[in-house]
Structure 1
Amino acid sequence: MASAFAQAPESEERPTSDEVIARSGVPASAVAAVVNDSVVTTFDVRQRMKMMVISSGGKLPQEAFPQLQAQALRDLIEERLKLQETRKYELQVTDEEINDELNMMAAQSGLTLKQMIEMLEGTGVSIKSLREQIRAQIAWPQLVQGRYRDRVRVSEDEIENTLERMREDASKEQYLVSEICIPVDNPSQAQQYYQGSMQLIEQMRRGVPFSVVAQQFSACTTAAVGGDLGWVRSGELSEELDAAIRDLPPGSVTNPIPSEGAFMILAVRDKRQATEKGEPTFTLAYAAADESLGNNAARAALDKIKSAELCSGRSLRIDLGKGVGYSLLENVTLDQIDERFRPHIEDLSRDEQSPVIKADNAYHSAYVCDKDEGLGLPSREALENRIYSRQLARIAQQYLRDVERDAMVDVRMKSLLQSNG
């Protein structure tokens, strides 16, 4: 992998679709789509549809097959575009990485890799098709992160504003939510994407589980776990999604909701009462200076806690000096703190430091790295990661749109349903 993601030189002038097909040796009747210099065959589409049916446990009704075929072809086109783009930047996925993913998939199904391969081949699915799918799933996020991670900035204000909304809404219900994301690649075709989203809802009304539809059709990162978002609090989702789930009873599914360049379908699986405020917990950067240093030197050393990296759990960036010890105390309650220090800590907020306290032949001080007010809110780090992932996912979606806009994509396939039946 090129460490700087340097783009490889451009190739010769792009061939036409017919030239690509002629070079491939694939009969024109067996071509489902041409993606730049690559051919997606009708065999590839059948393979993907079989994998989708297997992963759904065979629960997809026949009426769902037109949508299944369209999604299979769409996924294959996107995978080709992703792999072609990663090749431009000389990004390689090793066989070992793919094997690790295959072994994990097999273990999750209670099978050995050999057993899983035999099971797939017994249903007519080539392991080669699955390996290519996994290759794209590994390569694309690596490319997106390598190129764009420095552009994603989660500000302290953004984290604090989200936490503040969650604090304000802590007195309200919480929701166990699943999601399906249908990206709107072309805004002028929004109505078609909406109708496609409604077809997915119709499948669920006919008994197809939400998790199965999410696994097969959702573009969210949660697709791998059936769309499961877990428990969310009011205010945690964007305003339009938050408003949509508030009045839904458990077991209900929303209509498609336009949100951030996609149609979102949300399922409320359960609700629970608001978290009752409990005992606050602190994560403290604690330091102590030996009394022999003297009052002024000890206080000067303890003042450096603010500029050190103790909250991250790493070694201090600044040496506090000889005779000064430090530690990171995580998730401690007030009753776990020495009673002589409690009054100086209990009212502190994040990024505040206690006064210097003299006790037991030493000078002591504590800096609040984080504080949970007892509402069970996620840590700042967890919330930052969540916001970061969503921002990077939006960039990845836009990146793929740009790649497709500059590509030659020629869809030739009409229908495989008669031969698939």
Structure 2
Amino acid sequence: MTKNLWRRAASAMIVGAILTIGAAMPAVAQAARVTVNGTPITDLQVAQRQKLFALEGSSGGSKGATEQLIDEAIQISEAKRLGITVSNAQIDEALLQIARNMNVSQDRLINMLQQGGVGMDTLKDRLRAAIAWNAITEQVIMPQVQISELQLDEQAANKVQDYQTFDYILKEVIFVGSGSGGRAGQANSYRSKFAGCDTAVDLSLAFTDAAVIDVGRRHATQLPEAIAKELAGLNVGGITKPRVVETGVSMLAVCEKAQAEDLTFIKSDLRAEAGNDVLVDQSAAYMANLRKQAKIIYN
């Protein structure tokens, strides 16, 4: 699996903060409720995390907040052991991304936290642990993930349909512009006169706003299912029915067609799915082992 793909799979594991205004809870004294590898987790931290839960509309209560804080303390401890640091700039960027995802300004995000009685450090602490764990996942867990290529080959072969066993060289004929009704009429007229790729450009000159684009080589597994099925029923020199697309009305012309089973693109999707599943399982196992080794003292 490519590094970028792994990075996306790992990044998907970072917990997002989707906030809505909620009620504040009464303040509590700063007494250590739990100590994790020498790091205290206070009653105040637990209360603040519960408020953050309330803002997110999630449940968990005091126990859920405590357990999440324990996990985060362990993650930060492991990051330190591995020499991983999370900069303030990374935290700021994560906060900005949350605000963008919510379509609010960063000032508005801070104001929402304040109205819910949540200190900014509460969200920052969660983000610091999440970013640290993401780095641990990428540095330690990803390299351990193994996916059987033989199994992927077998799964991909079982997924290939008859219409997906062709390789094409295609041209796109597109009637550019809005007003799909009129464009579709021109496209159908073009299609009725179409006599093959060699004369595609010359034929387009007789129509308004028609363009012929070399798509090049495409395997059926690279194409949307409906198009792949239609192309499978065409011979060389055939052209698909008009389809409305964002830029106008489009048709695909078959310039070359050959029988060719290519599992590359199916395998790529299967690899991503399998990699995500394995990564989730191994990350959970890694975390469970860290918790088992951690010195957790409940007060």
TM over 0.5: yes
> After the TM superposition, which residues 70-81 of structure 1 pair with which residues of structure 2 at under 5 Å, given as runs?
70-81=63-74
In percent, how many aligned pairs have the same letter? 19
> After the TM superposition, which residues 109-124 of structure 1 pair with which residues of structure 2 at under 5 Å, given as runs?
109-124=102-117
Is 1:349 aligned to residue 261 of structure 2?
Answer: yes
Shift of 1:101: 1.6
Is 1:403 aligned to residue 290 of structure 2?
Answer: yes
CA 1:53–1:329: 2 relative to 1, 3 Å: same
Provide the rounded CA distance (Å) in 2 between the counterparts of 1:405 and 1:139. Answer: 19
> After the TM superposition, which residues 6-405 of structure 1 pair with which residues of structure 2 at under 5 Å, given as runs?
30-56=31-57, 67-163=60-156, 280=164, 329=218, 331=222, 333=228, 334=231, 336=252, 338-339=254-255, 341-342=256-257, 345=258, 347-350=259-262, 369-370=264-265, 379-405=266-292
Paired residue type of 1:395:
Q
CA contact (8 A) 2:32 2:41 kept: yes
Shift of 1:384: 0.8
Provide the rounded CA distance (Å) in 2 between the counterparts of 1:283 and 1:99. Answer: 48
CA 1:157–1:29: 2 relative to 1, 3 Å: same
CA 1:124–1:165: 2 relative to 1, 3 Å: farther
Shift of 1:282: 5.8
Shift of 1:110: 2.4
CA contact (8 A) 2:168 2:254 kept: no
CA 1:125–1:159: 2 relative to 1, 3 Å: same
Provide the rounded CA distance (Å) in 1 between the counterparts of 2:51 and 2:166. Answer: 51
CA 1:281–1:166: 2 relative to 1, 3 Å: closer
Shift of 1:148: 2.8
Shift of 1:165: 6.3
Which ranges of structure 1 fall in alignment gaps of 5 or more residues? Answer: 1-26, 168-276, 287-326, 352-368, 371-378, 413-421
CA 1:149–1:29: 2 relative to 1, 3 Å: closer
SS of match in other structure, 2:290: helix
SS of match in other structure, 2:73: helix
Shift of 1:161: 4.1
Shift of 1:82: 0.3
TM-score of the pair, normalised by structure 2 = 0.59
CA contact (8 A) 2:165 2:260 kept: no
Paired residue type of 1:42:
D
Deviation digits for residues 283-335 of structure 1 (CA, Å, limit 9, x no counterpart): 7799xxxxxxxxxxxxxxxxxxxxxxxxxxxxxxxxxxxxxxxx764635445
Match in the other structure for 2:176: none
Paired residue type of 1:44:
Q
Report the structure, 1 or 2, having the larger helix content.
Answer: 2
TM-score of the pair, normalised by structure 1 = 0.43
Provide the rounded CA distance (Å) in 2 between the counterparts of 1:283 and 1:405. Answer: 53
Aligned length: 200
CA contact (8 A) 2:147 2:275 kept: yes
Provide the rounded CA distance (Å) in 2 between the counterparts of 1:410 and 1:389. Answer: 34
CA contact (8 A) 2:50 2:61 kept: yes
Deviation digits for residues 340-360 of structure 1 (CA, Å, limit 9, x no counterpart): x42xx2x32126xxxxxxxxx
Provide the rounded CA distance (Å) in 1 between the counterparts of 2:262 and 2:89. Answer: 44
CA 1:281–1:97: 2 relative to 1, 3 Å: farther
CA 1:279–1:110: 2 relative to 1, 3 Å: same
Provide the rounded CA distance (Å) in 2 between the counterparts of 1:131 and 1:152. Answer: 30
Shift of 1:392: 1.6
Compute the RMSD of aligned alpha carbons: 3.1
Paired residue type of 1:47:
Q
Provide the rounded CA distance (Å) in 2 between the counterparts of 1:116 and 1:28. Answer: 26
Match in the other structure for 1:272: none
Match in the other structure for 1:238: none
Higher relative contact order (CA 8 A, sep 6+): 2
SS of match in other structure, 2:65: helix
CA 1:407–1:72: 2 relative to 1, 3 Å: same
SS of match in other structure, 1:383: helix
CA 1:110–1:285: 2 relative to 1, 3 Å: same
CA 1:279–1:71: 2 relative to 1, 3 Å: same
CA 1:151–1:28: 2 relative to 1, 3 Å: same
Deviation digits for residues 264-288 of structure 1 (CA, Å, limit 9, x no counterpart): xxxxxxxxxxxxx8954867799xx
Provide the rounded CA distance (Å) in 1 between the counterparts of 2:113 and 2:53. Answer: 12
Deviation digits for residues 231-267 of structure 1 (CA, Å, limit 9, x no counterpart): xxxxxxxxxxxxxxxxxxxxxxxxxxxxxxxxxxxxx
